[in-house]
Structure 1
Amino acid sequence: MNPWRCGMLVLVGILGWTLLLFLYFSWSIDSHSSLLLAVVDTGQVQFSARTLTTMRGQNDSSVQRQVRRLPPAMMLPQVNKWRRARRPLDFEFFSEGRQAVHALWKGQASADMLSFRLQEAKKSYTGINLHNVTYTGSMVAQRGTQDLLCQLKRQQLRTVDGTEEPFAKLGWRQLVPGKPLQQLRDTPYRTCAVITSAGALLRSSLGKEIVDSHDAVLRFNAAPTRGFEDHVGSKTTIRIINSQILADSYHFASSSLYKNITLLAWDPTSYSANLEKWYSKPDYDLFPAYVERRRSSPSQPFYILHPAFIWHLWDVLQNNIDEDIQPNPPSSGFIGIIVMLSLCEKVDVYEFIPSRRHTTLCHYYDYYHDMACTLGAYHPLLYEKLLVRRMTETSMDDLSNNGKAVLSGFSQITC
């Protein structure tokens, strides 16, 4: 056979197989898009408490993946397969978002640096405006560290104290702890650690530093320590839990994660923070489990964050960003940082601003990968991290190499 003809046949064969593989890959991505779009804590697909306790290398018959899908209106828009086909190297779901992360180190990140999918998610949630946000304030992005900390300090930490309706008529004044959260034993703490659940903590070997260097340690939701002590330590002083945890009453009542520590729960309301409407229709019904725990363990400090406090933090976020942020409440991580700034003289925040260790892994204790867990889809995570970057004097090199942002507590700030 003519060598030239033979070469052409080989080339055509290679191109044909390449096209078939590309089409198969494109179909595979589309057929699994609903799974790939599932993002923990983005409001898209929300996992129950048992999902959050799924741990690497541990067998527990009570630990099962349970996925509860929100109504279709809350699902992110499907990415058009032909538009994605023109981006063969973008890989929306597994992009590590390097541009946005590097910009965060410099304090200069914006939504334009997000992947196409996350930009579309942001637009979708803005259009839905699930919580009826009607922000009328200004947007200023030039505040320095001191001014920003003073602004946050003025948003005084507030919990449900039983004096407002409908809680007053339900007898909550006698149900909630007698002392406010700010008067916990040993407060103000001298040094505190906020341990995010970021996948970058896996193999970080920070456990000894976390335990030895801090008077109090804050953790989130059902993030475990057992089996991960070398990387995240073993000490827990306060745990912030979202209402999904309490809605799974069996898990909450039986798990040791929520015993012998201070608990701080929260649940989103509409922007108006109407308590009557909130109590009658919470996002997840946290109230029965709260009442049961307070009655069975009255000595355990257990508080519910006031919804108005949460939305005041959102206002500060929007006020300090010169572009529209998602009209959804801040993440547990950002809320936790502000809480600890109210309770501690110095706060070390681990892997909220991603270090060079960052990957697409959502949590150090599970196997789910999606950059939305780091840069946000439902929560305004990108902007929260940008604000924390502006609040810290930690150098860019220290942030990028160590993933630890050092913040001065509100008690150390003169305003």
Structure 2
Amino acid sequence: MVTIEEALGIIEDQKIDLKTEVRPLEASLGYALSKNIISPFDVPEFDNSAMDGYALSGLYQEYRLVGEVAAGDSTIISLNDGEAVRIFTGAKVPENTMAVMMQEKTSVKDKTLFLDEMPKVGQNIRKKGGQLVEGQVVFEKGHILNPPSLALMGSLGRSELEVFSKPRVNIITTGNELVKPGQPKLEGQIYESNSYAISGALQQFGFEHHQKTQIQDDFEATKAGIQTALESCDVLIISGGISVGDYDFVKQSLEENGVNELFYKVFQKPGKPLYFGRKDNKFVFALPGNPASSLTCFYVYVLPLLHKLSGYRRTGLPTYQFPIKHGYENRFGRPSFLKAAILDGKVEVLDGQGSSMIQSMAKGNVLAFVDDGEKLTAGDLIRCKLIS
């Protein structure tokens, strides 16, 4: 058995060969750049107006109005002292422009522009190179592309980006008692739910599963299912069958398939019977079958590996500290991840902390962490991972 810190360290220390691919700009959200991005030109490429108004030559309160410049107009215009042109947001300012006055502070009569106040040099002008200069590093390798990143890449004319590939993930659920939702079930059977939690968590963080299989509690079937799943994935997530019961065949089946155990069992609650292994460049997590345990282990252990395999510079969910709303003492005998919710800036530990209880996790938005025997009073800081 390993500690939480030891388990996370083993995952972090894994040596991996990152894969790269070229993706269309519109399909690159959530991917990490595999190389630095260098600006090919200044941004903006020319001085332009920050708003609708009037471009002014000289600093006065009265000008002779001589024309108009729309966004995208490539006509070269040069203003003489005391002249002004109507201009629109994003339009290139004419030569000799000293300021742009917003239209709300102006009036026009007989081709004469009147200002409500004196302009200031450079007012409302976006200067050439004000955001980026040619040759500047825009984003470094490993930057995770978010919506503003895509906008900036588009403004640089990039229609494709070279990124680190995301891992292919397969899911296996085990259990004779499991029935697919929508199908009739017999006495003693339950509807299978863990695969929906895992696939949903994958989607939540920008990943997806490529294959999902349900296997009965049979050694040969489990062994064959694992062999098939490993052939087409980078990460295999197995739910159930990893404990020490008479019908738990996952650990033995992994050994038979040549998977090298890196750790088995973590000193924690929930999720003690957690397995992590590797076969060549393929990784396996065998998660406990109880729904809350399974999902907790995904958030704490699986997600950091998926991030690492995706070329992320920072992996896993960050930990924050918030004041707890009420007193709490950990009497479970193990370091514990608690289903909790942040309400009005304070953490409330929810009822229903059992490993099989998923409703409380669905109503919460954080995993709160307490050490074995830790005792908190109202207002003390408690460590939390935001899960939604």
Determine which structure has the larger strand proportion and give its number. 2
Determine which structure has the larger helix proportion and give its number. 1
Q: Which has the larger radius of gyration?
A: 2
Q: TM-score normalised by the shorter chain: which range applies?
A: under 0.3
TM-score with structure 1 length normalisation? 0.21
